[in-house]
Amino acid sequence: MQKSTKIIATIGPASDSKEIISKMFEHGMNVARLNCSHGSHAYFSKVIDTIRDVSEDICILLDTKGPEVRVGRVMDPVHLEHGMHIELTNRDIIASRDSFSIRYPHLNEIGIGSMIRIDDGLISLEVIGRQGKNLVAKVIDGGELIANKSCAIQGHNVRLPFLSAEDRKDIRFGVKKDVSIIAASFVRSQEDVAELRRLVRDQMIISKIEHWKALEHIHGIIEASDGAMVARGDLGAQLSLERVPKIQQEIIRECNVQAKPVIVATQMLESMKDNPRPTRAEVSDVAQAILQGADAVMLSAETGIGKYPVQAVHMMAKIAREYDHLVEGNMPSQHLRHTNVAQFVTEAAFHSTRHLHVKAILTPTETGFTARNVARYRPRVPIYAITRSMRVSRQLALTWGVHPICIPKKYTDLHGMIAELISETHKRKLVDREDTVVVTAGHRLRKKGSTNLLEIHKVKDILK
């Protein structure tokens, strides 16, 4: 049984072998994520080559570091206890129980009363005073301090450039290695997206929504991007935790309306880092993301450094298959903004699957635009997106319900193309002779957004 929700798996030390990548792909991984915060270009280059050895079809996502504030050097374990006071500096020192370093040049601009949350909020500090250029903080939520962990500062607009020199190097590396997607960390405005757009070629840009400023510009950010990621770790560290589920739902809905793929990430099956089975709460979390309309759900540490990477992908796929069918028609028409003929045609394609006994929707596409517009309605049948571009085929691996087929051939005759596409899906045993299929197409072949035609065919009528 095919699943519709897509799975992103982070590749790391636990999963970077050909054997493990192959098994994760077999069990339902659609997108392989490379996290620039953990790895060198030499390492990622080797991993990309391994992924391509497994399958040319796997979509690769490169996740940038972004303007991050991180803990400095920690040699021996430092346990921060509730109530203790500690000095914070941006000097390069080794952490002790008296002080530690935070890599942020404007540390002394953080206001008294501000909360600093470390490692997605596992450790919380309240700034209570100043000591020269340093800060004095009180430990609110204690824990073990670990080097290089992220720091989120509530209520403080971090004064760092959106793209660091290191980010630019990483992006150039990703473009050179022909990754399919760049996930941009800490996007705060559509201007940030435009800045990144100038550095990429045909890569999709996924804006990670993890900064409180991004919520003020969410419509424009999604409009300027090719999709979005709900990065709940940093969101939960910057905002009160109880707000995150509501924000997640709002971001998913806006992406659905704009026909842009949306990813839900962070700690989805976190316990599977160490255990072969997730908790019931984690299963509910994944199911809820699917029911809200997420295109993809993401595994981070579970597959990057966890003990059970293959089992984590397998469990995620099982949850998806259980809930995918419950989101049919998840996008009521009144929420949509129809701006062109193609969008009306794709809605008609969806409605035909509700009233006729249709086996599949076939969607020839140059850019993925038509397939994504069909997918936002969450039809009950698979969408086979036929494209001559391997790049587009890989990128469509991120969109709910879309099963890309790459046929590197130029068509000049519309009806000949439709007949050949139906024959191809039959040859691949995706449809049977007695099945009915819906086809969307455009009279102006190879032109983006030109879809203006919908046909319904019996497969046997085309094959004879």
Active-site annotation holder among 50, 64, 89, 266: 266
Active-site annotation holder among 6, 23, 65, 208: 208
> Residues 458, 459, 460, 464: is their CA dihedral positive or negative?
positive
Q: Is 321 a catalytic residue?
A: no
Active-site annotation holder among 33, 65, 260, 394: 33
Say which DSSP state 136 is in.
E
Contact by Cβ (8 Å): 325, 287: no
Q: φ, ψ for residue 252 (rounded to 5)?
A: -60, -45
Q: How many C-beta atoms lie closer than 10 Å to residue 175's C-beta?
A: 16
Bridge partners, 8 (sequence order): 31, 298
Q: Is 70 a catalytic residue?
A: yes
Contact by Cβ (8 Å): 124, 117: yes
Q: Is 367 a catalytic residue?
A: no
Q: Give which of 162, 208, 166, 249 is closest to 61, Cα–Cα.
A: 208
Q: Is 91 a catalytic residue?
A: no
What is the per-residue burial (b if ≥16 Cβ within 10 Å, else e) of 286-323? bbebbebbbbbbbbbbbbbebebbbbbbbbbbebbeeb
Spatial separation of the C-alpha atoms in residues 297 and 342, rounded to whole Å: 28
Active-site annotation holder among 52, 70, 168, 197: 70
Positions marked catalytic = 33, 70, 208, 266
